[in-house]
Amino acid sequence: MPLAGGAFLTGQDPDQLVLDATALTFACPLDLAGIVAWAHWAASGALPVTLMMPTDQAMASYLQRMDVLRHLPSRPRIIGRVPPDTRSDQSGSLLEVTALNPSNVDDLAERLGPLVMGFYGEDSEAGAAVLRACGELIGNATEHGPSERGAFMAAQLHTGTTTDGPRLEFAVCDTGMGIMEHLRRNPKYAFYTQDKHAIARATRAGVTGVTGVPDDKRGNGLYDVIKDTRRVGEVSLRIRSGKGEVRIHGATNSQRQTLHDRPDQTAGTWAWLTHRVNTTSKTVVQSRE
């Protein structure tokens, strides 16, 4: 089960952060970027950081391959075997954990663009829609969620040979103020006291924490992420901030949303986008199969 399905914390010790990945046998981009983001949040507050490596050596190698260890803050405590850093060129199927900040957005877009568009192959409409969605999530992290601790992103393409169909997964985890605090800067939304309800509100059209501009000029970002991507396939978006999480699933003719309380505290905002192509789409990964 991926860490994204549960809490990272192994206890409530206020004096340290323990990231327990010992039982991990699968990791999604949210896990990878989230481990690093949370570690940097803790280190910025002078909390010691411990990462307990997976006992599954293939999984431990994957954390190494996806640059999780490379992007941890300085001098973390690592428990367990650290595999050698051996790798082949997988630039066509993944984007390793990468630090994201306003100064490198354009460079990362150049790396992400070929990855996304290559996945969708001849279906350029779907590729463009998903790339715009990824760009919106990146923009949220650098514009609404910036902090000195930074933000981190990762992406993975799956052919579907061992899972339920081809899909693209992309995650951005920032360590900023979080959605509720951002929305509450706008007096219209100052009444929010629960993260899950603030997140849900942020997914509607015309909702922004920025004041002084008409609502129809800003605040459509997350709304457009879902609207545009579900027209070209099946989309799942999980947004986690504070003690809340909202899960949205959309397809061409349907959309549903569920709100959840979380046992852990997400410092900032984490977004995990999964997109599955239409069965009629001529994607590169489908042609490989």
Residue 13: pLDDT band with limits 50, 70, 90: low
Top pLDDT among 35 and 216 is at 35
Per-residue pLDDT, 5: 46
Distance CA 193, CA 230 (A): 30
Distance CA 271, CA 210 (A): 20
Residue 144: pLDDT band with limits 50, 70, 90: confident
SS3 118: helix
**Residue the block writes with tokens 């992103």:** 153
Residue 219: pLDDT band with limits 50, 70, 90: low
- Reported as type and span, the H/E element at residue 39 is helix 29-44
**What share of the chain has pLDDT > 70, as a percent?**
87
**pLDDT over 80 at 108, yes or no:** yes
Q: What is the mean pLDDT of residues 193-197?
A: 98
CATH of the domain at 173: 3.30.565.10
- Quote the domain boundaries for residue 133: 3-288
The number of domains in the chain is: 1
Residue 10: pLDDT band with limits 50, 70, 90: very low
